């Protein structure tokens, strides 16, 4: 979950503030409180008060005389006059000569002001700071248990209205799997009667931003039970040396509130395999052990269900995933086309959209986007509408926002030379034309050569008609050919190559490699796995599982595979040189063209050629 946290101020900061306040209090406020107001009187009054023996303390200075009355309640001040017998008369009147004339305050009051008051302020401020600190850590809608240091920051009970399954669009399989848990929390009797026990732990696995946190909250919302949540990284980062005791604490509270949901986000932060000797982390191991102990410790049917989320399931310690612990795994995958449309619609409810917005098209354009990214796109579109002084969000806003999320904002004043712009136009058309010639259908949604803040000088938005779950060997080869099409166009037209193809090269190589090492699409290696994927949900980097000699051979095969496709692309473009020129010119002039425009120009050219 992406939350913007206000930066936490260290505790020392608060103590500093309290000390400062105390200092100010003692230096300025206390003397002010103690000192009574000084009344200015004329010398005559002073003389008559002396006469009537009504002077308490007196202090004669160079310029002024400060004195109090007999009771010492009021302080007066008068200017010094030339009065030689003054000292004598004052002495006779029974006045006390003193260096620091003050109205006497009752001892109790002064004790109160100098001692008790600062103490009270100190305590009050301390309480206030502690409260603020807790609020900062826990968020406003949270209800804390215990004080600082006892309980974890993010453990909280959510208000019952919370999130429901309906708020989570798509992810039907995940919801189905979790609905059983909701049912169990509603009616445990039904399950205990048969002797069935609920899994204690459910692991939600999937790429970031696919709604794992949302789903966990929705389970609590649907079942109407308290929701405790903490992030695994907090155990190890925020509460150094206290991870294990935090776990104990968490479960103690959860058991008191059962039935309830405990959600541990990023469980891989504590649940990593315990086998790497390189960087042994005692702290984390203790925390993990405590977690395992707690999970074993409670009965099957005590009503505490632990949901945990991770995007590196393969790195989890097997002890954590064995039966009796996190034994159910719910995949939360990136949304498919229908899922994306549903998510867009859910989030579009929060903004004002024009009536004619076609979410299906938008969903198609946003292929590969996660739920969080889609939510972000909707918001970007709304911001764009506001920027343009409109009150509703149009389809154009949404389309632009997808590009913003994918490629960054348009660079308004990028200085592309004319030659560069031409090169980019040919490059992008090269991709599209190679793709079109292979598939004989509109290959692109949109092509643009407006530079973006991400550094892309232009890009081609591919069409995705539906979801594709299988790719044939030919299709993969064609895809590599399309990747090389940009560079091929540069070669065919300018006879020179540029740096603009680096991303294409990377992708083509990755694909070619996967064909050989993972998909078994080479004759030499047949169906042998030569590479394994490490991080399915985070980039999908791979590690080799073969000898160095084999690796060398793989490298050679990758090269020849890419090379063959590159040559094919060059041939395609050479054969369609006229169309290439016409399309590149068209794109150069218009800067952004749609898939339909592309096909239209292409058709014109091919027909002209036939005649």
Residues with active-site annotation: 428
Among Zn ion, ligand ADP, none, what does residue 504 contact (CB within 5–8 Å per kind)? Zn ion
Cβ-based neighbour number of residue 10 at 10 Å = 8
Nearer to Zn ion, 211 or 486 (CB): 486
Q: Which of residues 344-363 bind ligand ADP (CB under 6 A)?
A: 346
Q: What is the DSSP letter of 240?
A: T
Question: How far apart, in Å, are the Cα atoms of 113 and each of 30, 117, 118, 119, 388?
Answer: 7, 5, 8, 10, 61
Work out how close the CB of 445 gets to ligand ADP at its nearest, in angstroms, rounded to a whole number.
Answer: 23
Segment near Zn ion (CB under 5 A); pick from 224-232, 318-326, 468-476, 482-490: 482-490
Single out the residue of 206, 313, 486, 595 in contact with Zn ion (rule: CB under 5 A).
486
Work out how close the CB of 6 gets to Zn ion at its nearest, in angstroms, rounded to a whole number.
Answer: 42
Query: Under a CB-based contact definition with an 8 Å cutoff, are residues 374 and 416 in contact?
Result: no
Nearer to ligand ADP, 341 or 399 (CB): 341
Does residue 408 touch ligand ADP according to CB under 6 A?
Answer: no
Can you list the alpha helix ranges (DSSP code H) found in 238-314?
A: 243-257, 268-271, 282-297
d(CA 180, CA 194): 15
HSE-CB at 81 with a 13 A cutoff on CA atoms is 12
Nearer to ligand ADP, 203 or 436 (CB): 203
Work out how close the CB of 334 gets to ligand ADP at its nearest, in angstroms, rounded to a whole number.
Answer: 10
Site string for ligand ADP, 160-179 (x = CB under 6 A): --------xxxx--------
- By rule CB under 6 A, what count of residues binds ligand ADP? 19
Work out how close the CB of 537 gets to Zn ion at its nearest, in angstroms, rounded to a whole number.
Answer: 26
Sorted by sequence, the CB contacts under 8 Å of residue 338 that are 6+ apart come out as: 170, 363
Among Zn ion, ligand ADP, none, what does residue 170 contact (CB within 5–8 Å per kind)? ligand ADP
Work out how close the CB of 407 gets to Zn ion at its nearest, in angstroms, rounded to a whole number.
Answer: 13
Among ligand ADP, Zn ion, none, what does residue 486 contact (CB within 5–8 Å per kind)? Zn ion
d(CA 461, CA 403): 9
Query: Under a CB-based contact definition with an 8 Å cutoff, are residues 166 and 264 in contact?
Result: no
Among the listed residues 533, 560, 561, the one whose alpha carbon sits nearest the alpha carbon of residue 545: 533
| φ, ψ (nearest 5 deg) of residue 495 | 65, 20
What are 588-596's contacts with CB under 8 Å, separation 24+?
588/421, 588/422, 588/425, 588/449, 591/448, 591/449, 591/450, 592/446, 592/447, 592/448, 592/449, 592/450, 593/446, 593/447, 593/448, 594/445, 594/446, 595/442, 595/443, 595/444, 595/445, 595/446, 595/463, 596/442
Sorted by sequence, the CB contacts under 8 Å of residue 36 that are 6+ apart come out as: 73, 74, 75, 102, 103
Work out how close the CB of 418 gets to Zn ion at its nearest, in angstroms, rounded to a whole number.
Answer: 20
- Given its phi and psi angles, is residue 351 left (phi above 0), alpha (psi -120 to 50 degrees) or beta? beta
Single out the residue of 50, 59, 213, 462 in contact with ligand ADP (rule: CB under 6 A).
213
Q: Which of residues 410-439 bind ligand ADP (CB under 6 A)?
A: none
- By rule CB under 5 A, what count of residues binds Zn ion? 2
Segment near ligand ADP (CB under 6 A); pick from 65-73, 369-377, 386-394, 487-495: 369-377
Among ligand ADP, Zn ion, none, what does residue 307 contact (CB within 5–8 Å per kind)? none
Q: Which of residues 253-312 bind ligand ADP (CB under 6 A)?
A: 309
Work out how close the CB of 170 gets to ligand ADP at its nearest, in angstroms, rounded to a whole number.
Answer: 5
Sorted by sequence, the CB contacts under 8 Å of residue 226 that are 6+ apart come out as: 157, 158, 220, 257, 260, 261
Nearer to Zn ion, 163 or 569 (CB): 569
Single out the residue of 218, 375, 456, 558 in contact with ligand ADP (rule: CB under 6 A).
375
Cβ-based neighbour number of residue 482 at 10 Å = 29
Question: How far apart, in Å, are the Cα atoms of 456 and each of 200, 504, 567?
Answer: 48, 12, 25
Work out how close the CB of 208 gets to ligand ADP at its nearest, in angstroms, rounded to a whole number.
Answer: 5
Query: Under a CB-based contact definition with an 8 Å cutoff, are residues 212 and 259 in contact?
Result: no
Segment near Zn ion (CB under 5 A); pick from 171-179, 245-253, 258-266, 479-487: 479-487
Residues in the chain: 611
Work out how close the CB of 431 gets to Zn ion at its nearest, in angstroms, rounded to a whole number.
Answer: 6
Nearer to ligand ADP, 303 or 313 (CB): 313
Single out the residue of 249, 504, 531, 605 in contact with Zn ion (rule: CB under 5 A).
504
Among Zn ion, ligand ADP, none, what does residue 99 contact (CB within 5–8 Å per kind)? none
Among Zn ion, ligand ADP, none, what does residue 595 contact (CB within 5–8 Å per kind)? none
Among the listed residues 339, 309, 310, 360, the one whose alpha carbon sits nearest the alpha carbon of residue 173: 339
Nearer to Zn ion, 249 or 504 (CB): 504
Single out the residue of 56, 138, 211, 221 in contact with ligand ADP (rule: CB under 6 A).
211
d(CA 145, CA 167): 28
Nearer to ligand ADP, 158 or 484 (CB): 158
Residue nearest to ligand ADP (CB): 371
Say if residue 259 is preceded by a cis peptide, omega within 30 of 0.
yes
Does residue 490 touch Zn ion according to CB under 5 A?
Answer: no
Among Zn ion, ligand ADP, none, what does residue 210 contact (CB within 5–8 Å per kind)? ligand ADP
d(CA 229, CA 152): 9
Does residue 212 touch ligand ADP according to CB under 6 A?
Answer: yes
Single out the residue of 49, 137, 214, 404 in contact with ligand ADP (rule: CB under 6 A).
214
Q: Which of residues 181-210 bind ligand ADP (CB under 6 A)?
A: 208-210
Nearer to ligand ADP, 216 or 593 (CB): 216
HSE-CB at 548 with a 13 A cutoff on CA atoms is 0
Strand order in 260-265's β-sheet? Answer: 227-231, 260-265, 304-310, 201-205, 328-331
Residue nearest to Zn ion (CB): 486
Work out how close the CB of 464 gets to ligand ADP at its nearest, in angstroms, rounded to a whole number.
Answer: 19
> Which residues make up the interface to Zn ion (CB under 5 A)?
486, 504
> Which residues make up the interface to ligand ADP (CB under 6 A)?
1-2, 168-171, 208-214, 309, 343, 346, 371-372, 375
């Amino acid at each position: 979950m992406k939350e913007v946290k206000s930066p936490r101020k260290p505790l020392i900061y608060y103590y500093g503030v309290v000390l400062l306040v105390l200092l100010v209090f003692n230096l300025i406020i206390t003397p002010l409180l103690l000192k009574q107001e000084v009344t200015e009187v004329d010398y005559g009054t002073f003389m008559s008060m002396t006469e009537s023996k009504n002077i308490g303390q007196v202090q004669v200075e160079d310029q002024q005389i400060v004195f109090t009355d007999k009771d010492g309640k009021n302080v007066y001040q008068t200017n010094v006059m030339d009065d030689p017998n003054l000292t004598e008369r004052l002495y006779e009147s029974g006045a006390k000569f003193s260096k620091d004339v003050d109205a006497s305050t009752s001892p109790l009051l002064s004790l109160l002001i100098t001692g008790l008051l600062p103490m009270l302020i100190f305590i009050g401020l301390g309480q206030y700071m502690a409260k603020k600190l807790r609020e900062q850590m826990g968020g406003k809608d949270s209800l804390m248990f215990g004080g600082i240091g006892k309980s974890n920051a993010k453990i909280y009970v959510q208000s019952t209205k919370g999130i429901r399954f309906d708020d989570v669009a798509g992810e039907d399989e995940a919801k189905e799997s979790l609905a059983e848990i909701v049912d169990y929390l509603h009616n445990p009797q039904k399950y205990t009667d048969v002797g069935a026990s609920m899994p204690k732990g459910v692991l939600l696995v999937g790429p970031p931003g696919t709604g794992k946190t949302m789903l966990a909250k929705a389970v609590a919302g649907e079942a109407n039970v308290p929701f405790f949540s903490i992030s695994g990284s907090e155990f190890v980062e925020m509460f150094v040396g206290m991870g294990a005791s935090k776990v104990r604490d968490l479960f103690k509270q959860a058991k008191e509130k059962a039935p309830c949901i405990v959600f541990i986000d990023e469980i891989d932060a504590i649940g990593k395999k315990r086998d790497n000797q390189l960087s042994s982390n005692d702290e984390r191991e203790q925390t993990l052990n405590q977690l395992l102990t707690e999970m074993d410790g409670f009965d099957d049917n005590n009503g505490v269900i632990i949901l945990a989320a991770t995007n590196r399931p393969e790195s989890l310690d097997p002890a954590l995933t064995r039966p009796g612990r996190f034994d159910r795994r719910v995949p939360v995958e990136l949304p498919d086309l229908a899922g994306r449309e549903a998510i867009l619609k859910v989030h579009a409810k929060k903004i004002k959209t024009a009536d004619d917005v076609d979410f299906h098209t938008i969903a198609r354009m946003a292929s590969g986007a996660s739920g969080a990214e889609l939510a972000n796109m909707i918001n970007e579109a709304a911001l764009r509408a506001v920027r343009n002084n409109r009150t509703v969000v149009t389809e154009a806003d949404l389309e632009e926002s997808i590009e913003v999320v994918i490629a960054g904002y348009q660079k308004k004043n990028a200085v592309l030379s004319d030659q560069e712009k031409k090169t980019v136009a040919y490059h992008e058309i090269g991709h599209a034309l190679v793709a079109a010639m292979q598939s004989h259908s509109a290959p692109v949604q949109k092509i643009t050569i407006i530079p973006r803040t991400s550094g892309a000088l232009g890009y081609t938005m591919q069409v995705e008609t539906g979801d594709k779950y299988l790719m044939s060997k030919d299709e993969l080869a064609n895809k590599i050919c399309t990747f090389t099409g940009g560079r091929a166009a540069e070669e065919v037209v300018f006879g020179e190559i540029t740096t603009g193809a680096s991303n294409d090269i990377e992708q083509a190589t990755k694909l070619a490699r996967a064909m050989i090492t993972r998909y078994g699409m080479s004759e030499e290696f047949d169906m042998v796995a030569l590479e394994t994927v490490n991080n399915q949900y985070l980039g999908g980097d791979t590690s080799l599982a073969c000898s160095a000699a084999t690796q060398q051979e793989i490298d050679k095969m990758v090269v020849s595979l890419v090379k063959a496709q590159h040559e094919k692309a060059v041939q395609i473009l050479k054969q369609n040189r006229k169309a290439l020129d016409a399309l590149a010119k068209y794109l150069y002039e218009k800067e952004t063209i749609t898939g339909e425009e592309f096909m239209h120009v292409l058709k014109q050219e091919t027909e002209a050629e036939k005649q």
